[in-house]
């Protein structure tokens, strides 16, 4: 179903009603990244990005799970020193349908002096914080039991409420060790000592930024999948990267973030754990066999394009299914 630029070109809106309605009736949704130069100057309501935000809101997928795992095969692809990147395995739990990307009021205006202003509002209600905090505590409980809540509670009222509600919920999870960190420090700590983190919970904008940052620990943003989940209804599964317009049409893009999003779709959306593991194993197989797109290339490996690495993953999937 078309969304973003494709939908704008076809029917003039970034999220056609039919796309949302088919998505709602589906068991799970796989989303290709949206956006591109062609639509960058469109008015806000006619931007591809608006279509994506409408889709997330329309599906009520408030919890965005963004795992960042440094695979042993890719330690040398990280821009960080081996001893810093090796063994990193963290999960960013990002609030996805609230905060400054959705808050009212927002818009453009002019001051009394005739100067243009643009404004947005960071706003969170307790129910929005509570539901994402619960997902984060449950996630941390199933992982290493460590949860770091990232906010800017030294400055922002919305963050002060965030910290208060997350702290309150900690009493329901005595087995989870809760810490708090300001986002500026978190951005620094992610590069200084990323292994101190297990599960991070944070708001929409901080999660957007920190997960792109975390992706570079793993070698490339082209490796990171995500799951967007709601209380009920289908989940939306997407790579964390955008449409990479700077390399579009050149067969250079790394498809593994999307392939791994399919694995998350199978695991969280369709409860098909075996199929999810098979896809993840096929990705590891492909990397073990030395295939690399340019973004994760290191010396001694085989440089291939998007299409070829995809075919290698497919071959491994077929082999793994045959041998089961």
Ligand X SMILES: NC(=O)C1=CN([C@@H]2O[C@H](COP(=O)(O)OP(=O)(O)OC[C@H]3O[C@@H](n4cnc5c(N)ncnc54)[C@H](O)[C@@H]3O)[C@@H](O)[C@H]2O)C=CC1
**The entry of Mg ion, ligand X, ligand COI, none that residue 247 binds, CB within 5 to 8 Å by partner kind:** ligand X
Q: Is 124 an active-site residue?
A: no
Question: Residue 1 and residue 31: Cα distance in Å, rounded?
Answer: 10
Residue among 124, 151, 173, 208 flagged as catalytic = 208
Q: Which residues bind ligand X (CB under 6 A)?
A: 33-36, 49, 52, 221-222, 238, 241-247, 253-254, 257, 295
Q: Report the site for ligand COI in 298-317 (rule: CB under 6 A).
A: none
Of 240, 257, 262, 306, the one binding ligand COI (CB under 6 A) is 240
Q: Map residues 170-209 to x or -, x wherever contact with ligand COI holds by CB under 6 A.
A: --------------------------------------x-
Q: Is 101 an active-site residue?
A: yes
Question: Residue 218 and residue 116: Cα distance in Å, rounded?
Answer: 41
Q: Is 208 an active-site residue?
A: yes
Is residue 105 reached through a cis peptide bond, with omega within 30 degrees of 0 on the bond before it? yes
Which is closer to ligand COI, CB of 65 or CB of 169? 65
Q: Is 152 an active-site residue?
A: yes
Residue among 76, 89, 130, 212 flagged as catalytic = 212
Query: Catalytic residues, which ones?
Result: 101, 152, 184, 208, 212
The binding site for ligand COI (CB under 6 A) comprises 49, 52-53, 208, 240
């Amino acid at each position: 179903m078309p969304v973003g630029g494709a939908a704008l070109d076809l029917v003039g809106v970034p999220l056609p009603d039919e796309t949302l309605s088919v998505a709602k009736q589906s068991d799970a949704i796989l989303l290709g990244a949206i956006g591109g130069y062609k639509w960058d100057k469109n008015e806000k309501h006619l931007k591809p990005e608006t279509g994506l935000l409408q889709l997330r809101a329309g599906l009520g997928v408030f919890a965005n799970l963004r795992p960042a795992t440094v695979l042993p095969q890719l330690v040398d692809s990280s821009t960080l020193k081996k001893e810093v990147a090796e063994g990193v395995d963290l999960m960013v739990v990002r609030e996805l349908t609230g905060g400054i990307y959705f808050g009212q009021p927002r818009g453009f205006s002019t001051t009394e002096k005739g100067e243009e202003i643009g404004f947005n509002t960071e706003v969170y209600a307790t129910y929005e914080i509570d539901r994402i905090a619960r997902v984060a505590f449950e996630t941390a409980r199933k992982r290493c039991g460590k949860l770091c809540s990232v906010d800017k509670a030294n400055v922002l009222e919305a963050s002060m409420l965030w910290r208060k509600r997350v702290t309150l919920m900690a009493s329901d999870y005595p087995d989870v060790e809760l810490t708090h960190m300001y986002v500026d420090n978190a951005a620094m700590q992610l590069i200084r000592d990323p292994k101190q983190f297990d599960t991070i919970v944070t708001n929409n904008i901080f999660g957007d930024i920190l997960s792109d940052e975390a992706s570079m620990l793993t070698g490339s943003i082209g490796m990171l999948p995500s799951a967007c989940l709601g209380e009920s209804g289908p989940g939306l599964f997407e790579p964390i990267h955008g449409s990479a317009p700077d390399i579009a049409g050149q067969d250079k893009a790394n498809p593994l973030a999307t392939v791994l999003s399919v694995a998350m779709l199978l695991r969280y959306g369709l409860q098909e754990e075996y199929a999810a593991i098979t896809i993840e194993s096929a990705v590891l197989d492909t990397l073990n066999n030395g295939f690399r797109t340019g973004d994760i290339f290191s010396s001694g490996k085989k440089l291939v394009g998007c299409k070829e690495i995809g075919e290698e993953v497919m071959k491994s999937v077929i082999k793994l299914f045959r041998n089961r």
